[in-house]
Amino acid sequence: MRSGRKSVLVATLIPVVWIGYSVFLFALGPYSNLKAAVSGAELPEERFGFTGADLFAFLEPLSAETIDLYSRFQYFDIPNALLTGAAFVTLIWMLSRIVTERSWVRLLVAFPVTLAVFDLAENVVLINTIDRLPLRFFGLGELAGTLNFFKMIAGSFTLVVFAVLLVAAVVVWFRRRTSKNSQEIV
C-alpha cells in the first residue's frame, strides 16, 4: 500500500474509532449509567467551569455506588480525551491541506492538542478528588474547575477552526469541480 493511501486510511480510521468509542461511552455505556444514577443532573465537567464547592455539592448527596460510577466514568473518559484530540488533529490537518498550501495553517492543530491535554488533566484531577472522598480537597476541586474552563475554551476554538476549515474545503472542492466542468464544456 502506498504511503498516500496509508495516510488517508489512518486519517479516516482515527475519527471513525473516536465516533465508535463515543457511541460506546456516551450512548451505551458508563455515561448513560451515570446519568441515570444522578437522575439526569448535569455533571460538573459538563459546565463551562465550576468551583470546588460546586463539585463537592454535586458529590455529597451521591451514594457510594454512584460515586464509584462517577470515578469509573473518568477512567473511561481518558481514552475519549485522547481520541477526541487525535480525531480533530487529523481532521484539521487534512482539511488544512485541502484549503491551502500555507504550512502555518497546520499549526491550528494546537487547539485540539490543547483540548486533549486539558481534558486529560481534568480527568486525572477529578479521579484524585473522588478517590480522596470523604476528605474534601477544595484546591483539587478548584483545579478541576479551572482545567474544565480551559478545556471548554480549547474545545470551542477547536470546533470553530474545524467548522471554518470544513466550509473552506467545501468551497475549494466546489470551485475545483465547477472549474473542471467549465473546462470540459469549452
pLDDT given at position 8: 76
pLDDT given at position 104: 84
pLDDT given at position 106: 81
State pLDDT tens for residues 86-140: 999 999 999 998 898 887 888 999 999 999 999 999 999 999 999 999 989 999 9
Rounded to the nearest integer, the mean pLDDT of the chain is 92
pLDDT given at position 169: 94
Alpha helix ranges (H) inside 24-137: 30-37, 52-59, 64-99, 110-131
State pLDDT tens for residues 9-42: 878 899 999 999 999 999 998 899 999 999 999 9
pTM check: above 0.85? yes
pLDDT bin (cut points 50, 70, 90) of residue 186 is low
Instruction: Look at the block and give the residue holding cell 475519549.
Output: 80
Domain residues of the chain, as ranges? 3-92+109-154
Q: For the chain, give the percent of residues with pLDDT over 70.
A: 94
pLDDT given at position 86: 97
Q: How far is CA 66 from the centre of its chain?
A: 24
pLDDT given at position 181: 65
Contact 127, 75 (CB under 8 A): yes
Contact 48, 117 (CB under 8 A): no
* Residue range 148-158: mean pLDDT, rounded: 98
Question: Above 70 in pLDDT, residue 178?
Answer: yes
The DSSP secondary-structure symbol of 28 reads I
Which three cell numbers mark 27?
450512548
Distance from C-alpha of 32 to C-alpha of 43, rounded to nearest angstrom: 12
What 26-30 contacts at long range (C-beta under 8 Å, 24+ apart), as own/partner pairs, is 29/76, 30/69, 30/72, 30/73, 30/76
pLDDT given at position 3: 60
* Residue range 73-86: mean pLDDT, rounded: 97
Contact 173, 95 (CB under 8 A): no
Contact 111, 153 (CB under 8 A): no
